[in-house]
Amino acid sequence: MSNLIDIFKTAASKREPLKQVTDAYRIFNGVGDGLAGVTLDRFGDRYQLQFFSEQPLGSYEQIICSVRELFSPQFLVAKFRTDPAGRALEHPRMDVVVGIPEQAVGIVREGVAKFHVDLLDTVNPGLFLDMRDVRLEVEDRFARMSRNDAGQRDTRFLNLFSYTCSFSVHARLGGAAVATNADISGKILDKGRENYALNGLDLRPGEFFKGNAIEYVEWATKKGLRFDGIVLDPPSFARFKGTNFNVREHLMPLAAKCAGLLNPGGFLMVSSNYSEFVLEKFSADVLSAVRSVCSKARTVWKRSQGVDFPGAGLSKESSLVATLVEV
């Protein structure tokens, strides 16, 4: 067990600087930290341990003991995602190892923002850790817009496939006048409203749209709406009212439509966790899609996951391609 403790301790020490920014981050990222098929996430005093293959389960008790000894979690849940096809993500096996189920719910901080989390709500507690840097950048971009415009115009943000609206919370905290969220789940949008309230943000007209992201973009295009920033961060697959969204087929056409909604100088961030995307080609394809509408568009950056995700791209459970384009 001493070897496991050393592995977890070394990984945790590398994340120490993140404590200045957030109390929600990945402590251990599988093969990138020396133990394939295992991840450990911190959400305040709550911890989430995930198993993505059968092999590390042979050391299950030692892993649990190491986590308890090193981090003294108030709450610890183990989630088993060993199905190679990735099925049953909504209802994986989840074992509460430390604490009681009621302790799964809490609040985490990220910069000046706060977010509700629930570690027993499927595999996703309510905040995707690998998008933290982009969320903070969105806030910073709208803060700079507010300073540069000196309040002369209202800036607008669009968050497609918004999940619990964390991007929009950061945009509003940065000074966006309106941050519109589009998602097919009313339950998820309600969690977004709770996150707005948690951060002292009033709900403004047009900020919550229950429906297909493509539907919203088409409606906004017809209405002549314009935005200063758009985040397009879809799931790999989604189904809504008999229609299917497939990231391989539909993402780039949707990115082009989003480009048509941007004000001059606006930005579009496109990302995906689909493990078969390759960053260089993905970034080039996004730029090509945007340039089909805005010929002078340029790529500002292209990246994968942040510093708490070493070895990103080496396994399906740790993959991200993201790029930001300005028009």
Instruction: Report whether pLDDT(240) > 80.
Output: no
pLDDT band at 122 (very low <50, low <70, confident <90, very high): confident
* Mean per-residue pLDDT of the chain: 94
Distance, CA of 261 to CA of 154 (rounded, Å)? 15
Least confident of 33-37, 155-159, 236-240: 236-240
Predicted local confidence at residue 86, as pLDDT: 53
Which of 8, 19, 147 lies closest to 69 in space, CA to CA?
Answer: 8
Instruction: Report whether pLDDT(173) > 80.
Output: yes
Q: Are residues 188 and 235 in the same domain?
A: yes
Encoded amino acid at 132, one letter: R
Instruction: Report whether pLDDT(2) > 90.
Output: no
Predicted local confidence at residue 149, as pLDDT: 75
Give DSSP secondary structure letters for 52-98: -SSGGGGGHHHHHHHHHHHH--SEEEEEE---TT---SSS-EEEEEE
Predicted local confidence at residue 218, as pLDDT: 96
Instruction: Report whether pLDDT(292) > 60.
Output: yes
Q: Are residues 136 and 85 in the same domain?
A: no
pLDDT tens for 9-51 read 999 999 999 999 999 999 999 999 999 999 999 999 999 999 9
Give DSSP secondary structure letters for 169-236: HHHHHHT-SEEEEEES-HHHHHHHHHHHHHTTPPP-TT-EEES-HHHHHHHHHHHT--EEEEEE---S
Domain-located, residue 44:
yes
Q: Are residues 137 and 112 in the same domain?
A: no
pLDDT band at 123 (very low <50, low <70, confident <90, very high): confident
Q: Are residues 77 and 137 in the same domain?
A: no
Q: 68 near 98, Cβ under 8 Å?
A: yes
Last residue of a domain, one of 59, 84, 117: 117
Q: Are residues 101 and 138 in the same domain?
A: no
Domain-located, residue 122:
no
Q: Residues, the chain, total?
A: 327
Domain-located, residue 124:
no
CA angle 118, 58, 67 (to 5 degrees): 45
Domain-located, residue 65:
yes
Return phi, psi of residue 120, to 5°. Answer: -110, 10
Predicted local confidence at residue 103, as pLDDT: 98
pLDDT band at 260 (very low <50, low <70, confident <90, very high): very high
Instruction: Report whether pLDDT(244) > 90.
Output: no
Q: 45 near 106, Cβ under 8 Å?
A: yes
Q: Are residues 161 and 133 in the same domain?
A: yes
Predicted model pTM: 0.95
